A and B are shown apart, each in its own frame.
Chain A
């Protein structure tokens, strides 16, 4: 059988992000996939040389728009560990609220794109319509819809008033109700299952050994979620990771769908435990010195920051490992023996963010 080499991406109608794969195909069956990156590489880590450690929050938020809030949380936690800063309880829970709102809008965005990948346009529009409510909450509470910029070293810069809290609770009730109305379609519809069940299967052992992260790992049956660490305000909240075991595209989409509903619950829990008090502490003392390693759970999975400070306002080193970077080797393992027509669905199933990956 002759082998055909097909360049897939970086521009493709179904890809929201410019990932490039070289596919070796025999008779429309993929035999091998080789990745190529670098299309949107920006060298953001190097900016730590010229931006001080406070300004770097702004840079970290721009590693990725969709998980900007959680990037900032991870970076702030690393700096706060180095400088021995304990943030107020209210700030920790406000970080949880905005993080979970980010997770919800990221998952809803992805569920829409995923529906689009297998040609279900009306489902795509339904998910994006629901997502608008979350974007409105972000805008009303922070001033921005996507990059909310609420984190500062030592806490957060914005607070929620009682009126805003009541409004958020009523909005997430509506979001939850509308998301549940789509549950049967995304999880049980015959045509959706035909395009996702048994497609791009990653076993539990493969997922673990290849270092998969987030819904890709949990969709293969590994109950690992960085929120279990109890970082920030998560230590005050009841939380169990959501796991599916079939390891295919259906499992990964189901994990994300169920996590949307879980995030609504976490927002409610965080609001119910929100104490009165300060939202930030003043940063005192010398600039950060030493090494710190921080991990948080983004919508796409585990995000890792390594920071090395030298006691000046500029960091010696900022290293960011984003979840999509971890999910590329597992993606390569999902490809062999799949049909060429399933490639977009499989790629979408890891929720690729190439601007994150390349930074």
Chain B
């Protein structure tokens, strides 16, 4: 994959994002994928002068992921999108749509995770 990849953990993620921000890197977006049945992989894509840097976070789906929206406001939409599509929670999200950015309240099937059902919203 084009660009430098840096592995991070939930503990080091926000600090790394802060470092990249201070270095003048611009947040492009995140991409997600399923690492295995219980783990999600998130790639945070940054750009500076057309050079790409990716942070790779692989973590449990059932534990909250630290939000970077406090450091980079633009992350809030991506984190809400991931919340909708993967049913993972973000800790410290500045504007939490609570799984309703894309999905209607009556949706019970998590779109990108097979065989995971959730309670409809009241």
* Contact between chains at B29 and A293 (CB < 8 Å): no
Residues in B whose Cβ lies below 8 Å from that of A358: 102
Q: Which residue of A lies closest to B29 (CB)?
A: A321
Max chain B C-beta neighbours (<10 A), residue from A36, A46, A293: A293
Question: Would you give the shortest CB distance from A155 to chain B, in whole angstroms?
Answer: 21
| Stretch in A9-17, A37-45, A93-101 touching the partner | A37-45
- A329 lies within 8 A of chain B by Cβ: yes
- Proximity string of chain B (8-36) to chain A, C-beta cutoff 8 Å, 1 when within and 0 when not: 00000000000001000011110111100
- Proximity string of chain B (43-54) to chain A, C-beta cutoff 8 Å, 1 when within and 0 when not: 101000010101
10 further contact pairs, Cβ within 8 A, besides A38-B102, A38-B103, A295-B52 = A46-B112, A208-B26, A210-B73, A211-B29, A226-B50, A293-B3, A306-B43, A317-B31, A329-B77, A330-B74
- Which residues 301-321 in A have Cβ within 8 Å of B in the complex? 302, 304, 306, 308, 316-317, 319, 321
- A224 lies within 8 A of chain B by Cβ: yes
Q: Which residue of B lies closest to A46 (CB)?
A: B111
Q: Which residue of B lies closest to A357 (CB)?
A: B77
Q: How far, in angstroms, from A326 to B77 measured CA to CA in the complex?
A: 9
Residues in B whose Cβ lies below 8 Å from that of A316: 33-34
8 Å CB contact of B28 from A37, A43, A211, A308: A211
* Contact between chains at B33 and A317 (CB < 8 Å): yes
Q: How far, in angstroms, from A35 to B1 measured CA to CA in the complex?
A: 33
8 Å CB contact of B29 from A34, A43, A290, A304: A304
Residues in A whose Cβ lies below 8 Å from that of B77: 35, 325, 328-329
Question: Would you give the shortest CB distance from A213 to chain B, in whole angstroms?
Answer: 8
Question: Would you give the shortest CB distance from B99 to chain A, in whole angstroms?
Answer: 11
- Proximity string of chain B (92-106) to chain A, C-beta cutoff 8 Å, 1 when within and 0 when not: 000101001111100
Given contacts A293-B3, A319-B32, contact A211 B50 (CB under 8 A): no
Residues in B whose Cβ lies below 8 Å from that of A328: 77
Closest 4 pairs (CB-CB, A-B) = A306-B31, A321-B29, A211-B74, A38-B102
- B72 lies within 8 A of chain A by Cβ: yes
- A229 lies within 8 A of chain B by Cβ: yes
* Contact between chains at A319 and B26 (CB < 8 Å): no
Interface pairs (10), CB distance under 8 Å = A35-B77, A46-B112, A209-B21, A293-B2, A293-B52, A295-B28, A295-B52, A317-B31, A325-B78, A330-B74
- Which residues 70-122 in B have Cβ within 8 Å of A in the complex? 72-74, 76-78, 95, 97, 100-104, 111-112
Residues in A whose Cβ lies below 8 Å from that of B43: 293, 306
Given contacts A292-B1, A328-B77, contact A37 B29 (CB under 8 A): no
Question: What number of B residues sit within 8 Å (CB to CB) of A?
Answer: 32
Q: How far, in angstroms, from A60 to B74 measured CA to CA in the complex?
A: 25
Residues in B whose Cβ lies below 8 Å from that of A208: 26
Q: How far, in angstroms, from A37 to B33 measured CA to CA in the complex?
A: 22
Q: How far, in angstroms, from A308 to B43 measured CA to CA in the complex?
A: 12
Q: How far, in angstroms, from A149 to B26 measured CA to CA in the complex?
A: 33
Given contacts A229-B50, A316-B33, A328-B77, contact A211 B26 (CB under 8 A): yes
Residues in A whose Cβ lies below 8 Å from that of B97: 36
* Contact between chains at A304 and B33 (CB < 8 Å): no
* Contact between chains at B74 and A319 (CB < 8 Å): no
- A340 lies within 8 A of chain B by Cβ: no
- A176 lies within 8 A of chain B by Cβ: no
* Contact between chains at B45 and A293 (CB < 8 Å): yes
- A228 lies within 8 A of chain B by Cβ: yes
- A342 lies within 8 A of chain B by Cβ: no
- Proximity string of chain A (25-55) to chain B, C-beta cutoff 8 Å, 1 when within and 0 when not: 0000000001111100101011000000000
- A291 lies within 8 A of chain B by Cβ: yes
* Contact between chains at B26 and A38 (CB < 8 Å): no
* Contact between chains at B101 and A37 (CB < 8 Å): yes
Residues in A whose Cβ lies below 8 Å from that of B101: 36-38
Given contacts A34-B95, A211-B26, A316-B34, contact A293 B1 (CB under 8 A): yes
